[in-house]
Chain A
Amino acid sequence: MALAPAPAERLRPVRRILAAFFARRAHVAGGVLATVAGALALLSMPVLAGQALDAARTGDAALVEWCAIAFLVAAAVEGTLRWTARRLLIGESRRAEEELKRAIERHVVRLPVTTIDAARTGDLLSRMSQDVELLRFVTGPLLLYGAQALVVVPGGLVLVFRSSTAVAIGAGLLFAVMAFGLRWLAPRIERRADAAQAALAKIAEHAAERAVAIRVVQAFHRFAAEDRAMKARAADLAERGYAVAKLQSLVDLLIHVSVELVVLLGLAVGAVEVAHGRSTPGALLEYWALLGVQLGPLMTLGFVFGGLPRAFAAGRRVEEMFDWPAETIRGSVLPQGHGRLSVRDLSWSHAGGSTPVLTRVSFELEPGTTLAIVGAVGSGKSTLLDLILRLREPPPGTIFLDGADVLGIAPKALRARFAVALQDPFLFSDSIAANVRLGADDADVAAASADAGLAPDLLAMPDGLATVVGERGVTLSGGQRQRVALARALASGRPVLVLDDTMSAVDHATESRILANLRARHLADRTAVVVTHRLSAARDADRILVLDGGRVAGFGTHAELVASCPTYATTWRRQREHDALESGPEGAP
C-alpha cells in the first residue's frame, strides 16, 4: 500500500502562490473579515422580512416601517462589505499571480537552452499563463466563496431551526443532495467537454492544414472527399457537443428541482406548524427569503469543488518547471588570446538518442581567419555551433578556445568572447539602436548598421535608428531582423564573430554588399565562423568545413573543395544553375 504523502508534500503545488498571497496579511485579513460580516448582514435580511410580515399581520404599521428601513440599511451594509471583500481578496489574488509569474520567468529565462528547446513553446506558455491563472483559485476566490458559503449556509439552517426542526433538517438534506449531485456531475461534464474540445481541435487542425494547401485540394479536385471529411467531423462534434448539453441540462434540472423542493418543504411541513400555531407566516417568509440568499453561495460551492482539483493539477505543472535544473555557472578560467578555436575528435548525440549528430569532427581555426561551415539541413552545423558556445554541453577535451577546454570556462565568460548573429534572431520591442547595443553599451551603432546593410532600410523608417521594433512599432521583415542581428554582432566588439546562416532571408544583391563590407572592415584580422547553406557566401572564406550527416566531408579552400569534394562540387554546380536560370543573365555573379 502506498503511503499517503505528508501534508507538506500534498500542499507543495499551492505553497508558492499562498506565500505570495499571504505576504500582504492586512489586506487578506480585512477581506476575510468583510466577507464574514457581509454574510451576517445578508442573513439578517430574511429575518427582517419575516418580522415585517408578522408585524403587518398584527396591524403594527410602525414596526413594519422600522423593519423595512432596517432591511434597506442591511442591504447597503452588505453591498459595501461584499464590494470591499471582493476588491481586497480577488485584487490580492491577482497580485499573488503576478508575483508567481515573475518568479517563474526569472527561473525559466535562466534554464539551459536545450531545456527550453525541449519544452514546446505552447506548453511553456500554458504553464506560465493558464496554469498560474488556475492556481490562483486557491487564494482569493477560495477564501471569498468558501468563507461566504461557510457562514451563510449553516447560519441559514440554524435560523430555520428556531421555527421548525423538521424543516431545517429537511432543507439541509436537500442541500446536501444537491451539492453531491453537482459534485458528481462536474467531472463528468468536464470529461465530455474535453472530448468536444478535442473534436473541435481536430476540425481546427484539418482546416489549418488544408487552408495552406488549398491549391492541392483544388488542383486534384478533392471537393467531394473534403465535403465527406468535414461532414463526419462536424457530425462528431455536434454529437459530442450535444452530450455536454445533455449533462448540463441535468445540472439545471438538479438545481431547479432541489430549490423548488425546499420551497415545497415550507409549504408542506412549515405551513402545518403554522396551522398548529407553533410558528408564524412571518417565519415562512423568512424561510423562503433565506433560501434566496443561500442559493448563490451554495452554487459557488459547486464551483469550489471543481476549481480545487484543477488548481492543484495546475500547481503541480508549475512546480515541475521549478524542478528543471538551471544552467551551470561553474568554471572560471578566462582564456587569453585572439580566438584560436580547436575542435578535436568531437562526437555528440542527443541524450538518449542512438544516432550521433556529430561524428569525430576535428578542425583548427587560426586566430584572425574565417571559417565557413556548409552542409544540408540536418548535417549538424547548428549543433556544432551550440557546442562551441556551450549552449549544449560538449564531452570533455573536445573543444578548446585559445588552448583552454571550454568546459573549464564559466559559460557567461566564454560567451562574452563571441559576437553571435543567429538565423532567427531575437529583437526586443525597443528601438533598433537599443537592439544593436545589446552586446556593448558604448557601441558605434551607426557604423555597425551601415556595415550590416541597414542604411537604406533605416532611411525608410519613421525614426531611423530610434524606430521601435514590433508591438506598436514597425514590424521588420525577416531579412531586416537578420541584418539588425548582424549589426548587433558587429557592434559588440567581441573577438570571435559567429554568423549562423545570418543572411538566409536577405536578397542576393544586399548579401553581396554586406559580404564586401565584412571583408573590408571586419574579417581582416578577426576570427570568424560563418555557417551558411549558400556557397556563394562561403567561397571567400579562408577555410570551408563541409558537413554531411554529422561527419566532415571536406575541409579546405573553395578551389580545393570544388576539385576534391564531390558533395561540395555538386551543390556548388546546382546552386549556380538555379541562380542563373532563375535570375537571368543580368543577375548572374
Chain B
Amino acid sequence: MTDRQDRKRLTDRAQLVRLWSYLRPYRARVTLALGLLAASFAIELIGPVLIRSAIDGPLMATARGGDMDAELARLSWLAAGYLACILAGAALGLTFARTAARVGRSVVRDLRVALWGKLVRVDARWHDRNPSGRVVTRMTTDLENLDELVSSGGLHAVFDLMKLGGFVVVLAFVQPEVFVLGLIAVPFAAVISLVFRRAARAAYGEVRTRVADQAAFTAEFALGIRTVRVYGREDLVDARYDGLNRATRVAWQRTVRCFAAFFASVDFVMRAAQAALLLVGGRAVALGSSTPGALVQAWLYFGKLQEPIRELGERWHVLQSALSSAERILAILDEPDGPSEPADPIAPRGGGGVRFESVEFAYEPGRPVLRGVDLSIDPGATVAIVGPTGAGKSTLLALLSRLHDPDHGRILLDGVPVDRLPLRELRQRVAVVPQEPLLFDGSVLDNVRLFDEAIDAATVERTIDAIGARGVFDARGGLTAQVGERGQLLSRGERQLVAFARALLARPEVLVLDEATASVDSATEGRLQAALAALRAGRTCLVVAHRLATVRDADRIVVIEQGRVVETGRHADLVTAGGVYAGMHRAATALA
C-alpha cells in the first residue's frame, strides 16, 4: 500500500484544530509568546520615530542657530530612549524565542510519546504494510518538522505578515506620499518570494532525486564490487557514475540559477522602491511638504521590510511541510489499535487448556488463511503442528496470544474466551518463541526481561539457570554483556537461548513455539535441545514442528492444510492410517 493511500485526507483546518489540542496544555505560554511578539513589534516601530524627532527637532533647530546646550540635552534624551528600546526589544526577543522553543519542544515531546504509544499498540498488520523506514521517518523527520512549525516557522510567519501589513499602514501616517510605494513594492516582492520558493522547491526536489540516485548507485557498486571485479568491468561503473554525477551537477546548477535570479530580483524590487522613496520623499522635502526626519524614518521602515520579505517564502514552505507531516502523524494516531482490553474482564482460571472453536481469519478480506479450525488441547499436552508453508500454522499461534482476533469463532483458555481475559494476564500466561530470535540493542539482561526494570537480575539469572544456560554468557561478560543492534554480537544459538529465557521468565502456562530450523554447531544444538526440554516440562505446548523428533514425541500431531485441520492423532496412529502425515513421514525418513 502506498504512503498516499494510507493517509486519510484531513483539511488543513481540521488538522490545526487537532494540533491545538496538543498545544492546549501550554496555552498560557503560547499567549505569552504572542503578547511578546506584539510588544516587540511596537518597540521596533518606536526607534525610527525617535530618529525622526532627533533630525526634525534638535538637528534642524541647531542648524537654524537654536540653543546648542538645550538641543544637545534633548538629543541625549532621545538617544537614551533609543537605548531603552534596544534593551527592551532584546529582552522581549530573547524571552519570546525561548518561550516559543520551550513550547515547541514540549508539544513535540508529548506528540512523540503519543505517536510511539500508538505505533506499539497498533494492529500488527499495520506494520506489515509499512516498512520500518517509514516508522522511523514519522518518529523523527515528521515530528521535527512540526517543531519547526511551533517554535519558529508558525509564530514567525504570523509575525512577518503582521510586520509587513503594519509597516505599510504606519507609512501612511509618516509619509503619505510614499505609502503607495509600500503598497506596490511589498506585494510585488512577496509574490517574487513565493514564486521563487516554488521554483526552488522544484529545483531542490530534482537535486534530491539526483543525489539519491547517485548515492544509490554508489552503494550498489560498493556492495557489488565483487561482481564488478570478477568480470573486470570497472569501465561500466565509471561510465554510469559519470552520467549520474553529471545529472547531479546539472540539477545543482539549476538551483544556483534559481537563487541568483531570486536574490537579484527581490533585492532590486526593494531598491527600486527605495529609489522611488528618494525621488518622491526627497521632492516632498525639497518642496517643503515633508521633513528630512520623515524621509529618514520612512527609509528605516523600508529597511526593516527586507528581511521578512526574503523569509516569507521560506516560512511558507516550513508551514506547508509541517502541515503535511502533521497529516501523516495524525493519520497514524487514527489507526485502530490491535486487540483491545475486554470491557468486563474475567479472571483467568489457570491450568493451560486451550480450545479453538471454528476459528476463521484473514489478513486481507477475501483471502482467508484459517477456514474454520477446531482444536482442543489438554493442560500440559504437547501438540505438534505440521503442514506446508502458508497453511496457516503461525497465524493460528498468533491468534492465541491475541496479536489478532479471529474473524469468526473463538479461542478459549481454560474455558474462558481469550478476549475476555485482561491482555496483560493473557500474555503472561501464553509465551511466544518465534522462529527467528529477535533481540534489541542492550544487554542480555535487558533482552531477557525486555527492559522491564521491575524484574531483578537475580530472577533473570535463575531463569537462565532453569534452561541450563548457566555460564553461557560468562565469556562475554555475563548478563550485562551487550548484544549489539538486533543481537548481532551474539551467535545464533546464544540469541535463541535469550529468546527461550525471555519466554520462561513470566512462568507461562502455555508455550507457543515456532521451531528453529537452521543448523548450528553440534555443541550449541545439544544445549538448545536441553533448554527446550526444560521449557516444555509441565506446560501446554503448541509447536510448529520442523523436525521429526519433535513430531514423534508430541502427545498429538495436527496436520494443517489450506487453513483447515486435515488430520490429527498420535504419531503411530497417523503413520498407520496412511494419510497425509504418513506421506510426509515417508518422505522425511527416506534417506538418499
B145 on interface, CB distance cutoff 8 Å: no
Question: Are A257 and B282 in contact, CB atoms less than 8 angstroms apart?
Answer: no
Closest chain B residue, CB of each to CB of A67: B278
Question: Are A492 and B231 in contact, CB atoms less than 8 angstroms apart?
Answer: yes
A559 on interface, CB distance cutoff 8 Å: yes
Question: Are A584 and B561 in contact, CB atoms less than 8 angstroms apart?
Answer: yes
- Please encode chain B, from 47 to 91, with 1 for each CB lying within 8 Å of some chain A CB and 0 for all others: 100110011001100110000100110011011001101100110
Given A246-B98, A581-B548, A584-B387, answer yes or no on A574-B519 (Cβ-Cβ < 8 Å): yes
Given A55-B286, A79-B265, A426-B221, answer yes or no on A105-B132 (Cβ-Cβ < 8 Å): no
B105 on interface, CB distance cutoff 8 Å: yes
A587 on interface, CB distance cutoff 8 Å: yes
Q: Which residues of B contact A559 (CB under 8 A)?
A: 592
Question: Are A242 and B101 in contact, CB atoms less than 8 angstroms apart?
Answer: yes
B195 on interface, CB distance cutoff 8 Å: no
Q: Which residues of A contact B102 (CB under 8 A)?
A: 242, 245
- Please encode chain A, from 53 to 64, with 1 for each CB lying within 8 Å of some chain B CB and 0 for all others: 101111111001
Question: Are B75 and A253 in contact, CB atoms less than 8 angstroms apart?
Answer: no
Bound-state CA distance A549–B521 (Å) is 9
A176 on interface, CB distance cutoff 8 Å: no
- Please encode chain A, from 76 to 119, with 1 for each CB lying within 8 Å of some chain B CB and 0 for all others: 10111011001100110011011001100110111001001001
A412 on interface, CB distance cutoff 8 Å: yes
Bound-state CA distance A299–B236 (Å) is 46
Partner of B403, one of A45, A56, A215: A215
Number of interface residues of A (CB under 8 A): 158
Bound-state CA distance A245–B590 (Å) is 71
A330 on interface, CB distance cutoff 8 Å: no
Closest chain A residue, CB of each to CB of B440: A209
Most buried by B among A86, A425, A471: A86
Given A125-B219, A230-B117, answer yes or no on A558-B124 (Cβ-Cβ < 8 Å): no
Closest chain A residue, CB of each to CB of B68: A275
Question: Are A204 and B427 in contact, CB atoms less than 8 angstroms apart?
Answer: no
B428 on interface, CB distance cutoff 8 Å: yes
Question: Are B59 and A275 in contact, CB atoms less than 8 angstroms apart?
Answer: yes
Closest chain B residue, CB of each to CB of A559: B592
Most buried by B among A277, A416, A581: A581
- Please encode chain B, from 388 to 409, with 1 for each CB lying within 8 Å of some chain A CB and 0 for all others: 1100000000100101000000
Interface residues of A in 218-236 (CB under 8 A from B): 218-223, 225-227, 229-231, 234-235
Q: Which residues of B contact A78 (CB under 8 A)?
A: 267, 271
Q: Which residues of B contact A583 (CB under 8 A)?
A: 388-389
- Please encode chain A, from 300 to 335, with 1 for each CB lying within 8 Å of some chain B CB and 0 for all others: 000000000000000000000000000000000000
Bound-state CA distance A285–B548 (Å) is 95
Partner of A288, one of B147, B242, B299: B299
Bound-state CA distance A91–B261 (Å) is 13
A212 on interface, CB distance cutoff 8 Å: yes
Question: Are B113 and A425 in contact, CB atoms less than 8 angstroms apart?
Answer: no
Most buried by A among B136, B222, B519: B222
A572 on interface, CB distance cutoff 8 Å: yes
- Please encode chain A, from 539 to 568, with 1 for each CB lying within 8 Å of some chain B CB and 0 for all others: 100000000110000000011001000010
Bound-state CA distance A29–B67 (Å) is 57
Partner of B97, one of A248, A277, A438: A248
Given A55-B286, A61-B287, A125-B215, answer yes or no on A80-B264 (Cβ-Cβ < 8 Å): yes
Question: Are A577 and B546 in contact, CB atoms less than 8 angstroms apart?
Answer: yes
Bound-state CA distance A219–B260 (Å) is 57
B587 on interface, CB distance cutoff 8 Å: yes
Partner of B54, one of A271, A428, A580: A271
Bound-state CA distance A82–B151 (Å) is 34
A208 on interface, CB distance cutoff 8 Å: yes
Partner of B108, one of A238, A582, A584: A238
Question: Are B584 and A585 in contact, CB atoms less than 8 angstroms apart?
Answer: yes
Q: Which residues of A contact B588 (CB under 8 A)?
A: 576-577, 580-581, 588
- Please encode chain B, from 536 to 556, with 1 for each CB lying within 8 Å of some chain A CB and 0 for all others: 000000000111100100000
A389 on interface, CB distance cutoff 8 Å: yes
Bound-state CA distance A209–B47 (Å) is 56
Which segment, of A159-167, A258-266, A450-458, faces chain B?
A: A258-266
Q: Which residues of B contact A121 (CB under 8 A)?
A: 219, 222-223
Question: Are A55 and B282 in contact, CB atoms less than 8 angstroms apart?
Answer: yes
Which segment, of B182-190, B251-259, B325-333, faces chain A?
A: B251-259
Closest chain A residue, CB of each to CB of B296: A285
Partner of B502, one of A76, A200, A220, A485: A220
Q: Which residues of A contact B274 (CB under 8 A)?
A: 45, 49, 71, 75
A345 on interface, CB distance cutoff 8 Å: no
A466 on interface, CB distance cutoff 8 Å: no
Given A210-B440, A264-B79, A578-B546, answer yes or no on A64-B279 (Cβ-Cβ < 8 Å): yes
Bound-state CA distance A530–B113 (Å) is 52
Most buried by B among A200, A203, A281, A420: A281
Partner of B220, one of A64, A68, A415, A426: A426
A216 on interface, CB distance cutoff 8 Å: yes
Closest chain A residue, CB of each to CB of B134: A211
Q: How far does the Cβ of B501 sit from chain A's closest Cβ, in whole Å?
A: 12
Question: Are B229 and A72 in contact, CB atoms less than 8 angstroms apart?
Answer: no
Given A56-B292, A71-B275, A223-B121, answer yes or no on A79-B267 (Cβ-Cβ < 8 Å): yes
Question: Are B109 and A582 in contact, CB atoms less than 8 angstroms apart?
Answer: no
Q: Which residues of A contact B520 (CB under 8 A)?
A: 376
B191 on interface, CB distance cutoff 8 Å: no
Q: Which residues of A contact B223 (CB under 8 A)?
A: 121, 424, 426
Closest chain A residue, CB of each to CB of B505: A220
- Please encode chain B, from 443 to 472, with 1 for each CB lying within 8 Å of some chain A CB and 0 for all others: 000000011100000000000000000000
Q: How far does the Cβ of A95 sit from chain B's closest Cβ, in whole Å?
A: 6
Question: Are B121 and A64 in contact, CB atoms less than 8 angstroms apart?
Answer: no
Question: Are A218 and B124 in contact, CB atoms less than 8 angstroms apart?
Answer: yes
Most buried by A among B230, B249, B586: B230
Q: Which residues of B contact A102 (CB under 8 A)?
A: 241-242, 245
A284 on interface, CB distance cutoff 8 Å: yes
Bound-state CA distance A485–B285 (Å) is 83
Bound-state CA distance A60–B303 (Å) is 25
Bound-state CA distance A102–B242 (Å) is 7
Partner of A422, one of B83, B112, B227: B227
Question: Are B113 and A205 in contact, CB atoms less than 8 angstroms apart?
Answer: no
Q: Which residues of A contact B423 (CB under 8 A)?
A: 221
B4 on interface, CB distance cutoff 8 Å: no
Interface residues of A in 171-221 (CB under 8 A from B): 200, 203-205, 207-221
Q: Which residues of A contact B583 (CB under 8 A)?
A: 584-586, 588
Q: How far does the Cβ of B6 sit from chain A's closest Cβ, in whole Å?
A: 15
Closest chain A residue, CB of each to CB of B115: A230
Q: Which residues of B contact A208 (CB under 8 A)?
A: 132-133, 135-136
B569 on interface, CB distance cutoff 8 Å: no
Closest chain A residue, CB of each to CB of B80: A268
Question: Are A253 and B292 in contact, CB atoms less than 8 angstroms apart?
Answer: no
Bound-state CA distance A276–B76 (Å) is 14
Given A87-B257, A124-B222, A582-B389, answer yes or no on A234-B113 (Cβ-Cβ < 8 Å): yes
Given A53-B282, A101-B245, A426-B228, answer yes or no on A226-B547 (Cβ-Cβ < 8 Å): no
Q: Which residues of A contact B97 (CB under 8 A)?
A: 245, 248-249, 252-253
Question: Are A581 and B584 in contact, CB atoms less than 8 angstroms apart?
Answer: yes
Closest chain B residue, CB of each to CB of A539: B592
Question: Are B285 and A53 in contact, CB atoms less than 8 angstroms apart?
Answer: yes
Q: Which 3 A-B pairs have the closest CB atoms?
A: A426-B224, A585-B583, A588-B587
9 further A-B pairs in the complex, CB-CB below 8 A; given A49-B278, A56-B295: A83-B263, A87-B260, A129-B214, A230-B116, A242-B102, A281-B59, A284-B296, A422-B227, A576-B590
Could you list 27 A-B pairs, sorted by A, with CB under 8 Å?
A: A48-B278, A53-B285, A56-B283, A59-B287, A76-B268, A82-B263, A86-B263, A87-B260, A90-B260, A98-B246, A203-B140, A209-B440, A217-B120, A218-B120, A230-B113, A234-B113, A257-B90, A267-B79, A275-B72, A281-B296, A284-B296, A288-B303, A415-B232, A422-B227, A572-B591, A580-B588, A581-B545
